[in-house]
Amino acid sequence: MRLVIASNNEHKIREIKEILGGFFDDVVSMREAGINIDVEEDGKTFLENAKKKAFEIHKLLPNDAVLADDSGLVVDALNGAPGVLSARFALDGHNDKANNEKLLGHMKGVPTEKRTARFVCAAVLYESDGSCLTSQGTVQGRILETERGSNGFGYDPLFLYEPEGKTFAELSAEVKNEISHRRKALSAMFDVLNSHK
């Protein structure tokens, strides 16, 4: 069975191939599968968005398995915001600088102990028989008052990963990928597939 990943992000596809490739005959991107659609992410949760993406593509490719994920930042002091709006927190488009500035503005005056946050990733896999498998991964951290580091993207410069004492933007790509929320969600999906087979 072929696995189609609801993404054209090469890094994401490589990571998924590494973790889940053994379960499938082939792993391809949306582009490689000849799919060019933009599914509106209007769900209230990461899981709803991932499910919708996977389902819409699975309708077009019913003989393939389809994997989609959705992820973002959940800040406790902001009642879970930016959440599913993480990519477009400040504006309609994806603008990391504006998003980080808006987050810092909302967090002004919040004491250190109340700056807890987590990155969350939900993954959904529709198999060719129509069964739907789900998994989730989270990484706990804290929101800093100023950006640190130049690696990564999005909220990485503000997200302190306390076991390393560094922000996600200060970690090497190798270290971040080992501990990331996506890695955890994919590892959990590996376990789900293992028990499902």
Q: Is 70 a catalytic residue?
A: yes
**Strand 2-5 vs strand 65-75: parallel, antiparallel, or unpaired?**
parallel
Q: Are 96 and 103 in contact (CB under 8 A)?
A: no
Q: Are 184 and 197 in contact (CB under 8 A)?
A: no
Q: Are 15 and 182 in contact (CB under 8 A)?
A: yes
Strand order from edge to edge, sheet including 65-75: 26-29, 2-5, 65-75, 116-126, 132-143, 159-161, 166-167
70, 129, 156, 191: which is the annotated catalytic residue?
70
Residues designated as active site: 70
